[in-house]
Amino acid sequence: MFLTFILDLPCIMQLLLVIYFHQITLERLSREKNITFLSEITEELLISWKNEVLQRATATTWNNYHTHLRALLNFAVKKSWVTENILLEIPRARKPKLKKKTIDSASFKHIFNTLDYHEEQLSPKWFWNAVIKVMFYTGMRQNQLLSLKWRDINFKKQDILLALEGSKTHREWSIPLPKGCENELLFVKEQTHQQLGPIDISDHPVFRLQLFNDNFSGFGLTSSQIEGFFKKLSKFSGEKISSHRLRHTMATLIAQHGENPDLKSLQYILGHTDIRTTMEYIEPKRAHLEKVLNHLSLDF
């Protein structure tokens, strides 16, 4: 009876009860703008709140709030609690386009030296060496690495299937098996068979840290485990390294190779659905920029 009565009131608390997942966003709006009823939410109020949020947080934070509130206000319109979703008139915040963060050659050497020096804390060294090289040479995303199965790697045909499972774009595609990480993958497979015996491991994850380090449990490598490794490696080496940075480094090196880089091939390898995403890795070389600028003359 009480719940029915509450749900008949056109106030913010209705949405908190109906869609609990978005509670934090609603509570923050209600608290920071001192409102209770849906009728108090105006375009001016939301614009004011947007500006306040962007002064203390990133565009991503506001865009998350925007997504939550838009869904909730759409629900309110459907329930006839409000006549329109005024948030539709307020745009999401533009994210600043920052330069892709990459790892230079000297940093890579230092990172692998660190892996040798801190072998006990980053064990097993050969396992993490393989993780780094596979991510770098293939450009695959972290989730794709975690989802990689032995059946996805064909050493005879020399290709790797980046399967639907773990794909950000909800599709799958094959890429050539890079020579730079083939030996590492073969060694991981050999070590896996040493632990499990001569069984069929086709459906097993390629990277099963738990087989080689008793401090970890589970069946396959997890996000927290790989992120924890990169955090430790970054701390020990003083060099920031992550799965994103490995992918960005690989893509940037290919994009800057030669005068006319093969962007369509790079787009395919990275799995981008839009070539504009691939174009973000293109940066003109300094020598070319100097040539363009030095071509200027007042005698035109």
The answer to whether residues 85 and 170 belong to one domain is no
What's the rounded mean pLDDT across residues 71-86? 87
The answer to whether residues 117 and 72 belong to one domain is no
pLDDT digits (tens, 9 = 90+) for 269-278: 998 888 888 8
Report yes or no on 49 lying in a domain: yes
Local confidence band at 144 (pLDDT 50, 70, 90 cut-offs) = very high
Report yes or no on 135 lying in a domain: yes
Q: What is the pLDDT of residue 7?
A: 41
Report yes or no on 265 lying in a domain: no
Residue 94 CB partners (closer than 8 Å, separation 6+): 59
pTM: 0.70
Report yes or no on 32 lying in a domain: yes
Q: What is the pLDDT of residue 281?
A: 78
Local confidence band at 12 (pLDDT 50, 70, 90 cut-offs) = low
User: Worst-scoring range by mean pLDDT, 4-18, 103-117, 218-232, 280-294?
Assistant: 4-18
Residue 144 CB partners (closer than 8 Å, separation 6+): 162, 163, 166, 167
Q: Are 87 and 69 in contact (CB under 8 A)?
A: yes
Split into its structural domains, the chain has a count of 2
Local confidence band at 133 (pLDDT 50, 70, 90 cut-offs) = very high
The answer to whether residues 74 and 190 belong to one domain is no
DSSP letter for 80, please.
T
Q: What is the pLDDT of residue 3?
A: 34
Tell which of 54, 89, 124 closes a domain. 89
The answer to whether residues 78 and 128 belong to one domain is no
Q: What is the pLDDT of residue 202?
A: 94
The answer to whether residues 85 and 117 belong to one domain is no
Residue 29 CB partners (closer than 8 Å, separation 6+): 12, 35, 41, 49, 65, 69
The answer to whether residues 72 and 40 belong to one domain is yes
CA distance 111 to 103: 10
Local confidence band at 22 (pLDDT 50, 70, 90 cut-offs) = low
The answer to whether residues 125 and 222 belong to one domain is yes
Q: Are 37 and 11 in contact (CB under 8 A)?
A: yes
The answer to whether residues 120 and 234 belong to one domain is yes
Q: Domain containing 151 — which CATH number?
A: 1.10.443.10
Q: Has residue 196 got a pLDDT over 70?
A: yes
Q: Are 43 and 90 in contact (CB under 8 A)?
A: yes
The answer to whether residues 44 and 145 belong to one domain is no
What's the rounded mean pLDDT across residues 112-136? 95
Report yes or no on 18 lying in a domain: yes
Tell which of 204, 224, 240 closes a domain. 240
Local confidence band at 8 (pLDDT 50, 70, 90 cut-offs) = very low
Tell which of 89, 119, 150 closes a domain. 89
Q: Are 138 and 181 in contact (CB under 8 A)?
A: yes
Q: Domain containing 10 — which CATH number?
A: 1.10.150
Q: Are 241 and 234 in contact (CB under 8 A)?
A: yes
The answer to whether residues 143 and 85 belong to one domain is no
Report yes or no on 250 lying in a domain: no
Local confidence band at 179 (pLDDT 50, 70, 90 cut-offs) = very high
The range of the structural domain enclosing residue 220 comes to 108-240
The answer to whether residues 66 and 133 belong to one domain is no
Report yes or no on 139 lying in a domain: yes
Q: Has residue 4 got a pLDDT over 50?
A: no
What's the rounded mean pLDDT across residues 94-108? 84
Q: Are 176 and 158 in contact (CB under 8 A)?
A: yes
Q: What is the pLDDT of residue 262?
A: 84
What's the rounded mean pLDDT across residues 184-201? 95
Report yes or no on 54 lying in a domain: yes
The answer to whether residues 27 and 117 belong to one domain is no
CA distance 283 to 100: 10
What's the rounded mean pLDDT across residues 78-97? 86
CA distance 13 to 36: 8
Q: Has residue 19 got a pLDDT over 70?
A: no
